[in-house]
Amino acid sequence: MQQVAIVTGGSRGIGRGIALALGELRCNVVVNYASNAAAAHEVVAAIEKAGGKGLAIKADISTTEDRKRLVDETLANFGRIDLLVNNAGVAPNVRADILDAGEESFDRLININLKGPYFLTQRVAKEMVKAKGSGAKNLGPDYRPAIITISSISAYTASVNRGDYCIAKSGLGMMTQLYAARLAEYGINVYEIRPGIIETDMTGPVKAKYDKLIAEGLTPIQRWGQPEDIAKAVVAIARGLLPFSTGEVLNVDGGFHMRRL
Ligand code: NAP
C-alpha cells in the first residue's frame, strides 16, 4: 500500500527536496505551503513525473483552522497518514540584537516555528493512533507511522541576533522527546533532524557570510549542505531503517555539532 506523507513547507528549499525524494519513493505527498502556489504546484508536477502522487495544500501552520484543514484534506484525498514532516519555518524578518529585539518578531517566530509544529503533531498523532487502533485492517500490517521535525543547529547554537529563532528551534528538541515518549506505545517513532547550513532561499541573504565561514573551516565537511542531504535522512526514516530509535536527533550538518580542539 502506498505511504502518505505530509511535508509542511514543501514548496521550496529543504521541504521541496524532501517532498521530491518521497515522491521518488512512490509516496503520496502532500506539499503544504503558505503563499507560493506556483512553487508548490511545480513540486507536485515533479512528484507525479517521478511516479508518485502529489497534492498541494495551502495552509498557514500557525493557525488552528488551517492545521485542521491540512489534516482533513489529506485524509479526504488519501485516507491515511504515514509520515508527518514538520519542516515549514521562517527566519526573523530582521536579525536584531537580543537586547533590542521586539515581541512582534518573537510571537511570529514562536507561532510558526514552534506552536505550529507542536499542535500539528498533536492533531496528526491522534489520527495515527486512531488508525493503529482500527486494527490496521485496511492499512496493512506494516502500517508504521512516523513523525519527523526539522529543527536546526540553532537548537543549541546561540545566535544573539536571532534569539527568537533559536528558542523556537530549541523548543522543537523537547517537543520531539515529548511526542516520542508519548507515542512509543503505539509504535509511532518520532525524530528530530538538525540541518546545518543549507543552501536555500532562507540563507540567501547571508550567503557571503557563510561562504566565508565555511571556507575558513566552520564545518569539518567543507561545503554548503543541500536540501537533498536532509532528504536522504528523511528517506531512511520513511523506509523504516531506524526502527529501534525514537526521540533521536540526526545531525545533518557536515559535522558542525562536534567540539574540536
Ligand atoms: P525556505 O527556503 O525559506 O522555505 C520555507 C518553506 O516554508 C516554504 O515552503 C514556505 O512556503 C513554508 N512556510 C513558511 N511559513 C509557513 C507557514 N506559516 N505555513 C506553512 N508553510 C510555511 O526555508 P528552508 O531553508 O528550506 O527551511 C526549511 C526548514 O529548515 C525551516 O524550518 C528552517 O528553520 C529549517 N532550517 C533551515 C536551514 C538552512 O540553512 N536553510 C538550517 C537549519 C534549519 P511558501 O513557499 O509558500 O512561502
In a domain, 132, yes or no: yes
Q: Residue 180's domain is classified under what CATH number? A: 3.40.50.720
Name the residue of 14, 58, 169, 197 whose CB sits within 8 Å of the most ligand 1 atoms, as the mutation to test its pocket. Answer: 14
Is 211 contained in some domain? yes
Flag whether 260 is in a domain: no
Q: Domain for residue 65, yes or no?
A: yes
**Domain membership flag for residue 261:** no
> Has 118 been annotated as catalytic?
no
Distance of alpha carbon 237 from alpha carbon 95, whole angstroms: 34
Distance CA 196, CA 65 (A): 32
Contact 228, 199 (CB under 8 A): no
pLDDT digits (tens, 9 = 90+) for 156-169: 999 999 999 999 99
Q: Average pLDDT in the 95-120 region?
A: 97
| Residue whose cell numbers read 565561514 | 213
Instruction: Band the pLDDT of 137: cuts 50, 70, 90.
Output: low
Contact 164, 106 (CB under 8 A): yes
The CA 72 to ligand 1 mean position distance, Å, reads 22
Q: The domain containing residue 19 runs over which residues?
A: 4-252
Which residues, other chains included, contact 151 with Cβ-Cβ below 8 Å and sequence gap of 6+? 169, 172, 173, 176, 192, 193, 194
Pocket of ligand 1 contains residue 90 by CB under 6 Å: yes
In the chain, what percentage of residues exceed pLDDT 90? 94
The active-site residue, picked from 143, 165, 179, 191, is 165
Q: Which atom of ligand 1 is nearest to the CA of 201?
A: 2
pLDDT at 73: 98
Report long-range pairs for 49-53 (Cβ below 8 Å, ≥24 apart). Answer: 50/20, 50/23, 50/24, 51/23, 51/24, 51/26, 52/22, 52/23, 52/24, 52/25, 52/26, 52/27, 52/28, 53/2, 53/28, 53/29, 53/78
Mean pLDDT along residues 246-256: 98
The pLDDT of residue 138 is above 80: no
pTM of the shown model: 0.98
Mean pLDDT, the chain, as a whole number?
A: 96
The total number of structural domains that make up the chain = 1
What's the confidence (pLDDT) of residue 134?
Answer: 76
β-strand 28-33 against 4-7: which pairing, if any? parallel
Most ligand 1 atoms within 8 A of CB, residue of 20, 165, 202 to mutate:
202
259 domain-assigned: no
Is residue 31 within 8 Å of 18, Cβ to Cβ?
no
